[in-house]
């Protein structure tokens, strides 16, 4: 796969600057532009490329603009650089493609893209050359996209370490509605209920609600733009959620009416559906989900104690597949839940106990 010679990055926020850094690290010439003079100068100073000049003739343009302007920017770049392939990194793909088609843009040279590599922070300062390492990067060629155009964009995504997935724009939007946008909304809905809760009730929050609401801390403006940009697919998935919720509420209400039967079956069926869906989420490294054994160890809350534990896990020759820390309310001790392959559980428990660890198994 041949990398482009000169890449023009339009928009030097987190993603644009990270792409510049990643390509510069691989020796590709990169020119940068952004409506904000501060943002483009910062990206240059960080090493993401040089400032774009009027004589630069890119063979690939990467548009890293917000979703609500991405179609206009892509159309302008296709017109300004008639020999270049143009791609973008917006998190919604159907709307921009429709807008480009309606505007009569040259779609043979356009391939939409979406690297799934956000961070909590934004802006060029948060950029990193390895932002895409090991992350999915979806490419959404249209019927008009040329094979060469797809190959060029794919080469860049692969070069920066991403795992490329190809699907059409509508499939992409339905997928991210279900795996990203609706989970975000659910987290916000649950977290919003905590606003008016008494202090002693909030104090009962355990690991479950912490996990469910972690992403509820996200930026409202960014999420408004993402949800608005993918409103069609988000609404379809949310309506299905709404239907399940309405059915559940009816079942909970019916419990107080002894003449209605089957309410408990409805509740159990919803929880069972959640079991099935959750089990489909791929495990570590994209492999099929594996049932790990979980070994729970009490760890004193002092510097170095968790390190000592994991050193002892490593010494036992056991690979740690996952690790979760549980926070104990009011106690100077934590619980470390170490996930290992089932065959490693007993040997690990014995090894750790032999070294004096308080293992709960």
By the rule CB under 8 A, 192 interacts with a second copy: yes
By the rule CB under 8 A, 328 interacts with a second copy: yes
The number of residues in the chain equals 361
Q: DSSP class of residue 178?
A: I
Q: Phi and psi for 99 in degrees, rounded to 5?
A: -65, -40
Pairing relationship of beta strands 110-115 and 85-88 according to DSSP bridges:
parallel
Q: Which residue stretch of 41-49, 86-94, 142-150, 274-282 sits at the interface with a second copy (rule: CB under 8 A)? A: 274-282
* Cβ-based nearer residue to a second copy, 153 or 182: 182
- Pairwise CA distance, residues 113 & 148, whole Å: 15
Shortest CB 222 distance to a second copy, Å: 9
- Pairwise CA distance, residues 350 & 295, whole Å: 11
By the rule CB under 8 A, 264 interacts with a second copy: yes
For a second copy, the binding residues in 33-62 under the rule CB under 8 A are none
By the rule CB under 8 A, 285 interacts with a second copy: yes
* Cβ-based nearer residue to a second copy, 50 or 284: 284
Q: Which residue stretch of 22-30, 57-65, 73-81, 159-167 sits at the interface with a second copy (rule: CB under 8 A)? A: 159-167
Shortest CB 172 distance to a second copy, Å: 8
Q: Where are the alpha helices (DSSP H) in 255-356?
A: 263-279, 305-315, 345-354
Shortest CB 331 distance to a second copy, Å: 3
- Pairwise CA distance, residues 64 & 124, whole Å: 12
By the rule CB under 8 A, 258 interacts with a second copy: no
* Cβ-based nearer residue to a second copy, 56 or 168: 168
- Pairwise CA distance, residues 146 & 187, whole Å: 40
By the rule CB under 8 A, 204 interacts with a second copy: yes
- Pairwise CA distance, residues 146 & 34, whole Å: 27
For a second copy, the binding residues in 67-96 under the rule CB under 8 A are none
Selected from 29, 142, 293, 294, the binder of a second copy by CB under 8 A is: 294
CB of 108 within 8 A of CB of 78? Answer: no
By the rule CB under 8 A, 353 interacts with a second copy: no
Distances from the Cα of 135 to the Cαs of 206, 243, 286, 348, in angstroms? Answer: 30, 33, 10, 31
By the rule CB under 8 A, 25 interacts with a second copy: no
- Pairwise CA distance, residues 159 & 23, whole Å: 8
For a second copy, the binding residues in 111-150 under the rule CB under 8 A are 116, 120, 128, 130, 133-136, 138
């Amino acid at each position: 796969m041949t990398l482009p010679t000169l890449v023009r990055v339009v928009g030097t926020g987190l993603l644009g600057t990270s792409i510049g850094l990643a390509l510069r690290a691989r020796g590709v010439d990169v020119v940068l532009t952004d409506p904000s003079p501060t943002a483009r100068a910062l990206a240059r100073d960080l090493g993401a490329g040089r400032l774009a000049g009027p004589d630069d003739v890119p063979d690939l343009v990467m548009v890293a603009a917000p979703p609500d302007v991405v179609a206009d920017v892509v159309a302008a770049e296709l017109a300004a650089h008639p020999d270049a392939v143009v791609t973008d990194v917006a998190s919604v793909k159907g709307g921009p493609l429709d807008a480009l088609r309606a505007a009569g843009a040259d779609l043979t040279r356009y391939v939409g893209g979406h690297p799934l590599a956000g961070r909590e922070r934004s802006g060029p300062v948060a950029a990193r050359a390895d932002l895409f390492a090991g992350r999915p990067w979806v490419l959404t060629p249209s019927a008009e996209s040329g094979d060469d155009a797809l190959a060029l964009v794919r080469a860049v995504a692969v070069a920066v370490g991403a795992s490329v997935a190809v699907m059409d724009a509508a499939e992409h939007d339905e997928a991210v509605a279900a795996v990203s946008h609706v989970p975000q909304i659910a987290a916000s809905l649950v977290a919003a209920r905590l606003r008016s809760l008494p202090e002693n009730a909030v104090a009962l929050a355990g690991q479950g609600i912490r996990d469910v609401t972690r992403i509820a801390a996200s930026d409202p403006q960014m999420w408004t733009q993402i949800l608005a940009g993918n409103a069609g697919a988000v609404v379809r998935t949310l309506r299905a959620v709404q239907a399940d919720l309405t059915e559940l509420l009816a079942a909970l209400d019916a419990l107080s009416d002894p003449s209605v039967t089957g309410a408990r079956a409805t509740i159990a069926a919803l929880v069972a559906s959640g079991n099935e869906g959750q089990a489909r989420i791929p495990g570590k490294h994209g492999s099929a989900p594996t049932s790990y054994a979980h070994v729970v160890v009490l760890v004193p809350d002092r510097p170095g104690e968790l390190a000592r534990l994991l050193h002892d896990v490593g010494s036992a020759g056991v690979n740690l597949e996952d690790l979760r820390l549980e926070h104990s309310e009011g106690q100077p001790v934590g619980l470390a839940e170490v996930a290992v392959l089932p065959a490693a559980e007993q040997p690990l428990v014995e090894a750790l106990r032999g070294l004096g660890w308080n293992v709960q198994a």
